[in-house]
Amino acid sequence: MTAPTSGATPGARALRFARPLVLLLFVVLFLMPVYVLVVTSFKPLQEADPSTAWNLPGHWSTSGWSSAWETLRPGLENSVKIAVSGSLISAVLGSLNGFVLSKWRFPGADVVFTLFLFGMFIPYQAVMIPLAGLLTDMELVGTIRGLVLAHVVYGIPICTLIFRNYYVTIPDELIEAARVDGAGMLRTYWSIVLPVSAPAFAVTLIWQFTSMWNDFLFAVFLGAPDSWPVTVMLNNTAGSGAVAVQYNQQMASALLASLPTLLVYLLLGRFFMRGLMAGALKG
């Protein structure tokens, strides 16, 4: 028998040191645009110039942030209304659909689930004109309620898929025990399924909130100036056509528009990954 070799080979040691360096390189490359955004947003208008984008501000100023807040505040309020209400409604509907399709089977359930999945692959552009006509007939075009309805309908397939895959992991014996005790469908959902649905709700809420907050196509096509979210306001700020481009305001506006989704992922990111893994254990 040969004695085990002590220590790692030179190639293994080099690989161990190379991995952190490569990761650090990617982190630096990723943060370079963020650095330019941050330092430019705190520069006064006279210093905010592309030729000095890498330089720290000679005089730190919050004038860009003040202008960005005044410009984007109506859009931020509209985005909060759309994203919060739309994600909550989508999560509730997806939860009910996922429960019925996974635990309360009925004839043709697989066909219905396939149709739900088919809805995930329909691009926005394919339904934009009929959707606009439908919202016009319902007198909802150009309103926040119309944008919420459009996002909820388009988000039902992915929400249903997330909840259905998660609820499949719940033991069937729990559902059968509830039926034996005389619980109906809604009672079983409320007492047995809903209390253990937090991971799936976290995934769905984060997914839908991010999608609705970052949406531009629905907003610009189906919205109006009174209902425009922050993405449309941000686009109008960037393309204002002013003689002197206010780079400090534009950089501050970009950061201000991205902060809510960043905070959501920082606060709920671990629940997002936990929910994804919980729904992937059993198909």
**Per-10-residue mean pLDDT for the chain, 283 residues long?**
57 78 89 91 86 87 91 94 95 94 85 86 85 91 94 92 90 88 88 90 92 93 92 80 73 92 82 65 47
The domain ranges of the chain are 71-279
Contacts of 56 (CB under 8 A, 6+ apart): 39
What pLDDT is recorded for position 124? 81
- Sign of the torsion angle spanned by Cα atoms 150, 155, 157, 159: negative
What pLDDT is recorded for position 77? 95
CATH of 71-279, one of 3.30.420.40, 3.40.1190.20, 1.20.1600.10, 1.10.3720.10: 1.10.3720.10
H or E segment to which residue 80 belongs:
helix 63-103
Angle at the Cα of 280 (from 276 to 283), degrees rounded to 5? 140
pTM exceeding the 0.95 threshold for the entire prediction: no
What pLDDT is recorded for position 244? 65
